[in-house]
Amino acid sequence: MKTVKISARRLDKMTIFDISGDVDLATSPELRKALLSELREARMPRVILNLKAVRYVDSSGVASLVEGLKVSRDLGARLILYGLSTSVREVLQLSRLLKIFEICESEEQAVSP
Amino acid sequence: MSQGRLLLKLELCSNAEMLSVVRHALGQLAEIEGFSSAECRAVVLAVDEALTNIIRHAYSGEEGRPIQVSFRRIEAPQDGRQRRGLEIVLEDRGKKVDQATLCGRCLEEVRPGGLGLHFIKECMDTVEFRRKVGKNQLRLVKLLDVAKLGKGA
């Protein structure tokens, strides 16, 4: 039973991941793999996560985001989140990690120079 | 422990794909019991994290091991009055939980992992661990707001 879908849109010097469903213990490895591959192998300078359709994220999902953030910082890239639902925002607040992420209100803002 | 009216009992295997099934069932149960949307999300997160800990740590990722979760409506004293609440007891037959590892981690560190127990403690009113006859038992309680007493099933 797969509860997450991840698709990538590659634009000029940036990738947008459209993610939908639940990011939990079962599905976070898929997000982690996609995120790290785009940063480490594709060397994309900006990776954007569209979280508008993410209904749920747990600590393993947060861990994947934090790992992506650390790798992006190591490589001098940017990891941007946008479209946070109430549920996702609450979990990031609870982890006290909300302020460490670059968060935008819209895709337009996330892709702007 | 475990006095009160049994509402639901789940027996599941230590398979991460079962987490979404439990989340859906629990979300509906908490709503029926009268919890607010935010409280429902908190209870669901806590139980999801507890199950994740069982799968990852007690069973070291091994699939197919038994987990039992029971949900009871209880009355519990708080601040000199009786409060209605939801008691959730999770049991597994995995490795003994090392109490020293249950303290959570410093949240000032920006690193992956170690957040599950912090989430559980933040989301629930009571969190109790015990080892009992070869089983790990985790008891969680979420109390209803006084204003909501009388609502729900």
Q: Domain range holding A41?
A: 4-107
Helix (H, G, I), strand (E, B) or coil at A3: coil
Helix (H, G, I), strand (E, B) or coil at A59: helix
Inform me whether the pLDDT recorded for B97 exceeds 50. yes
Q: What is the pLDDT of residue B81?
A: 83
Would the CA dihedral through A92, A97, A99, A100 be positive or negative? negative
Query: Percent of chain B scored above 70 by pLDDT?
Result: 84
Q: What is the pLDDT of residue B8?
A: 97
Per residue in A6-38, pLDDT (tens digit) is 999 999 899 999 999 999 999 999 999 999 999
Inside any domain, residue B67: yes
- Find out whether B14 and B63 touch, Cβ atoms under 8 Å: yes
The whole-number average pLDDT for the span A105-112 is: 96
Query: Which of A25, A26, A100 has the CB atom closest to B110's CB atom?
Result: A100
Q: Domain range holding B67?
A: 5-148
User: How many structural domains are present in chain B?
Assistant: 1
Inside any domain, residue B108: yes
| Best residue of B12, B20, B48 to probe chain A, by most A CBs closer than 10 Å | B20
Mean model confidence pLDDT for chain B: 88
User: How many structural domains are present in chain A?
Assistant: 1
Per residue in A49-78, pLDDT (tens digit) is 999 999 999 999 999 999 999 999 999 999
A12 vs chain B: nearest CA distance in angstroms? 29
Length of chain A: 113
Inside any domain, residue A112: no
Amino acid identity of residue A77, one-letter, is: A
- CATH number of the domain at B28, please: 3.30.565.10
- Find out whether A43 and A75 touch, Cβ atoms under 8 Å: yes
Q: Does A36 touch chain B (CB under 8 A)?
A: no
Using CA atoms, how far apart are residues B89 and B15, in angstroms rounded to an integer?
A: 18
Inform me whether the pLDDT recorded for B146 exceeds 80. no
Question: For strand B135-143 and strand B81-92, is the pairing parallel, antiparallel, or unpaired?
Answer: antiparallel
Q: What is the pLDDT of residue B90?
A: 98
Inform me whether the pLDDT recorded for B30 exceeds 90. yes
ipTM of predicted assembly, 2 dp = 0.91
Helix (H, G, I), strand (E, B) or coil at A48: strand
Q: Which residues pair with A14 in a beta bridge?
A: A11
- CATH number of the domain at A77, please: 3.30.750.24
Inside any domain, residue B13: yes
Q: Does A69 touch chain B (CB under 8 A)?
A: yes
Using CA atoms, how far apart are residues A34 and A47, in angstroms rounded to an integer?
A: 11
Q: What is the pLDDT of residue B150?
A: 47
pTM score: 0.90
